[in-house]
Amino acid sequence: MHKLFNYLFSAILLTGLLFITSCGEDEVPTPAVPEITLDASSAEVYPRETVTVSGTVNAPGGINAIDVAVGADASVNLFTKTAGTETLSETFSYDYTVPVDAAAGDVIITISVVDDSNQTTDVTFTLTVKATVAISEYSATLLGGQTNATEPSFFNAIDGTTYLLGDFLNTHSMHTDILYFFGSTNQATLAAPDDSDADIAFGTGTITAAPTLNATRFVVSDLTAAQFDEILFDHEILAQSFDAGGASKANQLAVGNVLVFQLDAARGSKFGLVKVVAIEGTSGVDRSITIDTKIQL
């Protein structure tokens, strides 16, 4: 009987110890997984443009790291935990410039967060790269002034051809978009064939005798010469376009000036840009202007 009592007492004591031990070793609850909230989930841009991916991370278990990856490229770290600290919430921002040769289509940008419990959350940002359209470019086009007998004064902005006065009057007035003259008041001037001062410069009634006088219109751009040089695509020209208010000439030009122009409706109403590269000559017979031109196809 005594042995049975000892046995029961030992069993009760062991059960109590196990209960006490189990109460002292309760597991710490796993914190909720991190959450990522993006300020925007998608964007559409052209090559060479920059998109910003931004948002906020909330991690009850503490943020260990925030990374971003573009497509299959290696990830870039946006946040790393500092030893001995705990960060529960953090904003982030990442700028991505689309390569100039990027193909049209969707690019997935992935934002990842890892908390201090090694729990991971990913969200994606869809970047749609828009298709680009090429342009035509003509460099170092030399146009002579109205009394320069050796250099053409008339310019076909669509194909880059230049014409002497006789060619303009006889066969190519319909193809002429821009002409050059130098006046005592206007100084160095690029003008449309229908500009009245251009007709006076070449001798009243000379230009107006042509079968066609295209109405090209000009606006002085705030682009720098360097910014002009960077333009590669149609949408970049259109970004400088104007709806109305263009003039039939741009006068008192200086080297480095950039003009926006729009062709006559009969020439497709195309938009283009002209940069003044050089203005030379001291008298009517040798005056000239050198221009670079970029225009929609």
The predicted-structure confidence for 146-191, as pLDDT tens digits, reads as follows: 999 899 999 999 999 999 999 999 999 999 999 999 999 999 999 9
Among 176, 187, 197, 155, residue whose Cα is nearest residue 253: 187
Burial class (CB in 10 A: 0-12, 13-18, 19+), 65: middle
Q: What pTM was estimated for this model as a whole?
A: 0.80
Query: Does residue 103 come out as left (phi exceeding 0), alpha (psi in the -120 to 50 range) or beta?
Result: beta
AA letter at 199: D
Among 275, 236, 226, 284, residue whose Cα is nearest residue 255: 275
AA letter at 273: L
DSSP per residue, 23-44:
HHTPPPPPPPPPEEEES-SEEE
How do residues 79-131 score in pLDDT, each as one tens digit?
Answer: 999 988 999 999 999 999 999 999 999 999 999 999 999 999 999 999 999 99
What is residue 84's predicted lDDT score, i.e. its pLDDT?
A: 87
CATH number of 35-129: 2.60.40.10
Copy the structure tokens of residue 252: 């008192």
pLDDT greater than 50 at residue 18:
no
Percent of the chain scoring above 90 in pLDDT = 85
What is residue 25's predicted lDDT score, i.e. its pLDDT?
A: 52
What is residue 22's predicted lDDT score, i.e. its pLDDT?
A: 46
All structural domains of the chain with their residue ranges: 35-129, 135-296
Q: Which residues pair with 42 in a beta bridge?
A: 126
How do residues 262-271 score in pLDDT, each as one tens digit?
Answer: 999 999 999 9
Compute the average pLDDT of residues 47-68. Answer: 96
pLDDT greater than 80 at residue 1:
no
Q: What is the mean pLDDT of the chain?
A: 91
